[in-house]
Amino acid sequence: MTSTTISEGQYNLFTDKTAVITGGTRGIGRAVSLKLARQGAKVLALYGRDSKSAGELDSIAKQEGLKIVCIKGDLCNDEKFSLVVEAIKAQASRIDFLVHCAASGVHRDAMDLTLKHLRWTFEINVFAIHHLLQSLVEMMPSGARVIGITSSGGTRVIPYYAAVGSSKGALEALFRHYAYELAPKGIAVNLVCPGLVLTDAVDAFPDRDARVEKAKQATPSGELVIPEDVAEMISFLCEPRSGQVIGQTIVIDGGKTLLS
């Protein structure tokens, strides 16, 4: 299992930095929230509905003395979106890191998808981060970072993944334009592409068990990616030394894509 121990020199790496994490209370987003907070950042963890997960994260933060504030709000609802932005601005005068971990979607064959299914998926996976970045970019100084989570389904066919995969493809294209436009302002934009990560989202697949076993067999490292692996890479991309990494998609999959 991957180690998540933070060396002594990393504890204060992001002191005086503020991070906004969409989907920041569950799965990969929770791991990112904890990682950056444990390195000294103030983390604003956004979430939509799961108050239980937010409460659990808040308890961990209090136990460890971490600066994590959970902010509830639907980024796809205009009125609630405005309230979320107001809450963010009430907590911070600047945003150093914006990490888009929130994701959802309908797992069906392409021909079984309705326009409602696609709109729902794109609203959360693509439109929400675009609207949020537009609202916060003026608060982001030189040296800030924008990081998104994509998947191999953005460029490959995965069964029952047409809605999510197409949204990830759109996200990747949009982030390339963000990277180009924001680089002159000193803001580095990148994507992280994990392999199959064992989070609650995997349970939504109708072929969940077979999919997990197939992924294990196809991964040279013999281990599936865990949320903490992704958080480690995002932490690196937030560091000053990663400033010349711009417009890239960093793959973390234990070598699985070497065989496909």
Q: Which run of H or E residues covers position 81?
A: helix 78-91
The two three-digit tokens of residue 1, written as one number: 């299992």
Spans of all domains in the chain: 12-253
The CA-to-CA distance between both ends of the chain, in Å, stands at 24
Task: Report d(CA 206, CA 210) in Å as an integer.
Answer: 9
Task: Report d(CA 50, CA 154) in Å as an integer.
Answer: 27
Burial zone of 10 (CB within 10 Å; 0-12 exposed, 13-18 middle, 19+ buried)? middle
Give the lowest-confidence range in 7-21, 41-55, 84-98, 134-148: 7-21
Residue 243, pLDDT score: 96
Residue 202, pLDDT score: 65
Query: Is residue 165 within 8 Å of residue 117, measured between CB atoms?
Result: no
Q: What's the helix, strand, coil split of the chain in %, to 5?
A: 50, 15, 35
| Mean pLDDT value across residues 29-36 | 98
With cut-offs at 50, 70 and 90, classify the pLDDT of residue 2. very low
What residues are labeled active site? Answer: 161, 168
Q: Classify domain 12-253 by CATH number.
A: 3.40.50.720
Q: How many other β-carbons are positioned within 10 Å of the β-carbon of residue 112?
A: 12
